[in-house]
């Protein structure tokens, strides 16, 4: 009885955690009984496999890239092995614990595995659109052609130089100095672009959501005003012909039927609105890129020795290794 009660409590906790991290595969289920939760989480099914695959993709965005999905579509067993390998990397199971991934293990063990795996899913308050943008950005960073560069940055390896290659060392030092100068130039350019965008945003008050005037101009209002003006002029022409012509020696005003002037004004207004929308989109994109860069720098996203670290921590670790290696060379 105590074991069953513990399993029911774990099932409720895991189900609640899935709802907390906004797992789309449990939305609309509205499970209330612990038995139903145990059936969902501990019995082999395609729904359970999809939930576990979603958790793995949330922990490691590269897990759900298009190339991996195409390979798993040909052989579903590859997905099971990949999830087991991810569990081994997180030190939650072994690579051969395929029964745990399929749902054939003991329910208590499965629930403990799911509960521990959910702790690695990042919590956040972003909207679905922003989460999709961030996932697309990470998928692009973790593409196959970028993986060697990321691996080299996170786990650098230095081969000792032969004693007779001194010129090569000097050239490497000079090239690293040039690289640092180029990075400083790029940072300065980014800062200038950000300042220019901020200045442009401050000058364009109409781009602000708060500054919404009640009498905003639109092409439809111009069309209505032109129609009203034409009706008034037609009415005046009839009144002139019937009542006022005998008192005036002038000919009635002639009204042109050409509308190219209004059409040209309408086209110019549409072009102006399109340009303003583009300026607003550029400003919004700049803010979004700035937020993503800050998150990549401050949030722990990079694995090292079984733990997640920030980019700043990884760079500091890289500098420390370089200093230690330089010390060994000089000694």
- Predicted pLDDT of residue 157: 61
Whether the predicted pLDDT of 100 surpasses 60: yes
The per-residue pLDDT for 158 is: 56
Between 111 and 76, the higher pLDDT residue: 111
d(CA 84, CA 107): 17
Residue 278: per-residue pLDDT: 92
3 state DSSP class of 40: helix
Length of the chain: 331
Cβ proximity of 154 and 302 under 8 Å: yes
- Give the mean model confidence (pLDDT) for residues 205-214: 51
Determine the pLDDT at residue 136.
65
Listing DSSP states for 204-259 in one string gives -GGGSSS---TT---HHHHHHHHHHHHHHHHHHHHHIIIIIGGG--SPPPP-----
Q: Of 66 and 290, which is predicted with more confidence? A: 290
Check residue 223 and give its pLDDT.
Answer: 73
172 pLDDT above the threshold of 70: no
Give the lowest-confidence range in 36-40, 193-197, 207-211, 320-324. Answer: 207-211
pLDDT surpassing 70 at residue 127: no
326 torsion bin: left (phi>0), alpha (psi -120 to 50), beta (else):
alpha
Mean pLDDT of the chain: 76
DSSP secondary structure letter of residue 303: E
At residue 8, does pLDDT exceed 80? yes
- 126 band by pLDDT with thresholds 50, 70 and 90: very low
Does residue 302 sit in helix, strand or coil? Answer: strand
- pLDDT of 155 reads 65
Residue 167 above 70 pLDDT? no
Instruction: Kindly tell me if the per-residue pLDDT of 216 is higher than 60.
Output: no
C-beta of residue 55 within 8 angstroms of C-beta of residue 79: no
Output the six-digit token pair for 27.
């939305």
Residue 276 has pLDDT above 80, yes or no: yes
Structural domain spans, the chain: 2-129, 185-208+218-245+257-298
> How much is the pLDDT for 218?
63
CA atoms within 13 A on the CB side of 147: 9
pLDDT in tens, 29-62: 888 888 888 888 998 988 898 899 899 988 888 8
Q: 3-state class of 308 per DSSP?
A: strand
Question: Which pTM does this prediction carry?
Answer: 0.38
Distance between alpha carbon 101 and the CA centroid of its chain, in Å?
Answer: 29
Is the pLDDT score of 114 beyond 80?
A: yes
Mean pLDDT confidence for 114-128: 73
């Amino acid at each position: 009885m105590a074991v069953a009660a513990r399993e029911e409590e774990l099932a409720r906790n895991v189900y609640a955690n899935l709802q907390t991290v906004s797992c789309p595969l449990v939305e609309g289920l509205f499970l209330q009984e612990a038995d139903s939760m145990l059936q969902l989480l501990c019995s082999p099914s395609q729904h359970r496999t999809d939930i576990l695959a979603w958790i793995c993709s949330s922990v490691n965005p590269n897990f759900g890239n298009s190339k991996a999905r195409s390979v798993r579509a040909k052989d579903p067993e590859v997905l099971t092995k990949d999830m087991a390998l991810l569990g081994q990397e997180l030190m939650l199971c072994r690579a051969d614990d395929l029964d745990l991934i399929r749902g054939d293990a003991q329910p208590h063990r499965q629930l403990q595995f799911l509960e521990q795996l959910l702790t690695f899913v990042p919590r956040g308050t972003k909207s679905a659109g922003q989460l999709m943008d961030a996932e697309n950005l990470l998928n692009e960073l973790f593409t196959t052609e970028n993986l060697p560069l990321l691996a080299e940055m996170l786990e650098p390896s230095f081969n000792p130089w032969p004693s007779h290659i001194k010129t090569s060392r000097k050239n490497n030092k000079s090239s690293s100095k040039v690289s640092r100068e180029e990075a400083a130039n790029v940072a300065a350019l980014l800062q200038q672009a950000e300042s220019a965008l901020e200045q442009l945003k401050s000058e364009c008050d109409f781009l602000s959501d708060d500054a919404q005037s009640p009498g905003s101009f639109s092409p439809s209002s111009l069309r209505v005003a032109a129609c009203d003006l034409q009706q008034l002029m037609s009415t005046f022409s009839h009144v002139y012909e019937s009542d006022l012509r005998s008192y005036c020696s002038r000919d009635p005003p002639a009204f042109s039927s050409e509308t190219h002037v209004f059409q040209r004004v309408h086209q110019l207004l549409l072009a102006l609105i399109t340009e303003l929308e583009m300026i607003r989109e550029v400003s919004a994109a700049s803010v979004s890129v700035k937020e993503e860069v800050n998150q990549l720098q401050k949030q722990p996203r990079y694995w090292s020795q079984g733990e997640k670290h920030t980019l700043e921590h990884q760079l500091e670790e890289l500098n420390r290794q370089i200093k230690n290696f330089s010390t060994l060379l000089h000694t």
